Structure 1
Amino acid sequence: MLFKSLVPSLRQLTGALALGTLLAAQGAQADGRTLETRFGSVSVDADVQRVVTLYEGALDAAVAVGIKPVGAITTRGGDGVASYIQSQLSDTRIVGTARETNLESVIALQPDLILTSSRLSKEQYQLLSAVAPTLVPDFNMFEQDAWKKESLFFARALDREEQMKQVLGQIDQRTAQVKTRFDQALPDSGRQATLARWMPQGALLMSDKLFAGSLLTAAGFEMQDAGIIQAGRPHSSPLSQEKLSLIDGDWLFLATLNEDGEQALEAARQSPAFLRLDVVQNDHVIPVDGQLFSSASGPLAAGAILDRLEQAIEQAGQ
């Protein structure tokens, strides 16, 4: 049962499904906690046991503080969770995608907490709230350190805020170390970089304000988006061959919407316009995991991106 047909179907749920919904929707105990969300205050029981995440950033944050959700959505471009986190979630059940959630699958898991993205609609929120307390963060994904604020929000819901603060502190230290290595490897010039996703219909220039772009900036790269991305959009429209030069620069991080960045590079090499780019001629194209660099967010994803940046910095210093 997907959200696009939820309203009539939800009313028809009876028997065990209805009972599970009623039990899961009970209010929080007095010793629980209350969080301010996009749709108002939401109370959460003190002892959360069964968590469902409908957003990759929420899944990442939960696992980072030792919680393994019973349900999650697939990563974009995949049929399971992202590869960088997959080994830690062998028993987690898939309950939908970023576009559509299977409500019956969520109800069957009998969650006592549901974590979602800030983009969840009011209609979907109301449906999910009938199943369990549903937390929708109220952060603009384009504001500075939005992913850190989200991670702390989800950790607070799980009563693991102090653990998350320690995790984020470690990420900050690691980022500073990577930047120091970057400063030693490269002079002040030659640091302009772009992040692009190679698609069959044309390359997409990714916003430098998103999760991966913010980490690239923190590590020392000077991110650029050519001024062609509309406000509030995560990426540009597909670029024609004539406009492909907009992704040119000192460095190019190139991804597809799957885990294999090498596929993006091989596809791009079929384009004469791509081969003419200075960044290609200088061998400064870095193939990256598309699930990680263009879809994921959270502290574990940050650590995986920093691992890849260290490899890129080694290349930069050669």
Structure 2
Amino acid sequence: MTTPRPRHGTLTLVTLTLTLGLTAACTSSGSEKDNSASAETGSGSTHTVQTAMGDVKVKDHPRRVVVLDTAELDSAITLGIKPVGATRAGAASAFLSYLPRNRTTGITEVGEIASPSLEKIAALKPDLILSNKVRDGGRYQQLSAIAPTVLTETTGYPWKQNFLVHADALGRKKQARAAVATYDEHVAAVTKSLGGKKKAAAVDVNVVRFVEGADIRIYGKQNYIGTILADVGIGRPAITDKAKDGFSYDVSPEQIDKADADVIFTSTYGSPGKAKVTETTTSGLWRNLKAVRDGKVFQVDDELWIQGIGYTAANQILGELRSDLAG
């Protein structure tokens, strides 16, 4: 009942062009080369970063960065930095599969998200650790004893503000401005491809996530994917306004009719069987949804659409939105 897509998505020409522009902006001098030059010219210089735990003094150009969540990994890669260590994103792949393989090859895994190995982190001798209070607030003192640790308050919805904190900590403000500008241009291009803001707003879109061991989530507006849809100006059904804390409205398979919309994007976290995908999508309630009847249900990569939380992921998502909604 759904339209399958390749796991990594297919970039449109516009997406490819913009992504290449972003890559050039972020690595105009070569990330490793840039870091080495910085170390040679000013290894002792530092600056202060405002974080969720107060002001933290970090090196101007940290070279050995450890990231402990997916947003921090996307930020580092977007800004042309390859971390020396990162937490595992999930069981299927150590790191987010939508990221360029050459940008993640060689990164050392330091444990699972929210339960990293302090010993593995310390062994990498980092000069900067990036995470957030939701994942690592409880171990902040231990992490800070290893290296300067920059935590944002939370993850997800404030991803754009968090990205700027990451850029400040990494000494990559210029590259951050280029990334934001590229995204804004891409958003404008996608909105235009949909016929402008008025036509985009006339199409109601739901994002439905099947989660192993939990209820089905109909995503609201106060989350990562919600901000991207809002930036493009895409309409959202009334159910999204009922989402708890703006995040999601959770339903059982017997309530899936609440997900009705013009277009539905679906993703799955964990085992499809345990996430009740087949049970839900073979039911009469599902088959009667407008999006299903019209052939407007699209399967998307959960790591890209839900877990990625950054500008590299966002540009790929914009490409998929254009392909699916403007086609």
Which TM class, normalised by the smaller chain length? 0.7 to 0.9
Q: 1:50 aligns with which of 44, 54, 64?
A: 64
Partner of 2:249: 236
Distance 1:271 1:77 in 2: 29
Secondary structure of residue in 2 paired with 1:236: strand
Q: 2:51 aligns with which of 19, 37, 40?
A: 37
Q: 2:189 aligns with which of 174, 177, 189?
A: 177
Partner of 1:4: none
Secondary structure of residue in 1 paired with 2:316: helix
Partner of 1:5: none
Within a 5 Å distance, the mapping from 1:1-318 to structure 2 comes to 31-76=45-90, 78-87=92-101, 88-138=103-153, 141-142=156-157, 146-183=158-195, 187=199, 190-199=202-211, 202-224=215-237, 225-231=239-245, 234-237=247-250, 239-257=251-269, 268-315=280-327
Partner AA of 2:191 in structure 1? K
Post-superposition Cα deviations, 1:253-290, rounded to whole Å, max 9, x if no partner, equal 11112699xx9976643333211212111111121111
User: Structure 1 regions of 5+ residues with no counterpart?
Assistant: 1-27
Structure 1 residue 240 displacement after superposition: 2.0
- For the structure 1 residues 216 and 226, does the alpha-carbon distance in structure 2 shift closer, same or farther, using more than 3 Å as the test? closer
- For the structure 1 residues 79 and 99, does the alpha-carbon distance in structure 2 shift closer, same or farther, using more than 3 Å as the test? farther
User: Which is richer in strand?
Assistant: 2
Structure 1 residue 85 displacement after superposition: 0.7
CA contact (8 A) 1:53 1:71 kept: yes
**TM-score with structure 1 setting the length:** 0.80
User: Structure 2 regions of 5+ residues with no counterpart?
Assistant: 1-41
Partner AA of 1:221 in structure 2? I
Aligned residues: 281
Secondary structure of residue in 2 paired with 1:136: strand
CA contact (8 A) 1:76 1:295 kept: no
- For the structure 1 residues 109 and 141, does the alpha-carbon distance in structure 2 shift closer, same or farther, using more than 3 Å as the test? same
Q: Percent identity?
A: 27
CA contact (8 A) 1:44 1:157 kept: yes
Secondary structure of residue in 1 paired with 2:229: helix
Partner AA of 2:248 in structure 1? H
Secondary structure of residue in 2 paired with 1:42: strand
Distance 2:201 2:149 in 1: 47
- For the structure 1 residues 39 and 102, does the alpha-carbon distance in structure 2 shift closer, same or farther, using more than 3 Å as the test? same
Secondary structure of residue in 2 paired with 1:256: strand
- For the structure 1 residues 216 and 188, does the alpha-carbon distance in structure 2 shift closer, same or farther, using more than 3 Å as the test? closer
Secondary structure of residue in 2 paired with 1:66: coil
Secondary structure of residue in 2 paired with 1:48: coil
More deviation, 69-78/292-301: 69-78
- For the structure 1 residues 69 and 148, does the alpha-carbon distance in structure 2 shift closer, same or farther, using more than 3 Å as the test? same
- For the structure 1 residues 258 and 67, does the alpha-carbon distance in structure 2 shift closer, same or farther, using more than 3 Å as the test? farther
Distance 2:161 2:290 in 1: 37
Distance 2:315 2:131 in 1: 22
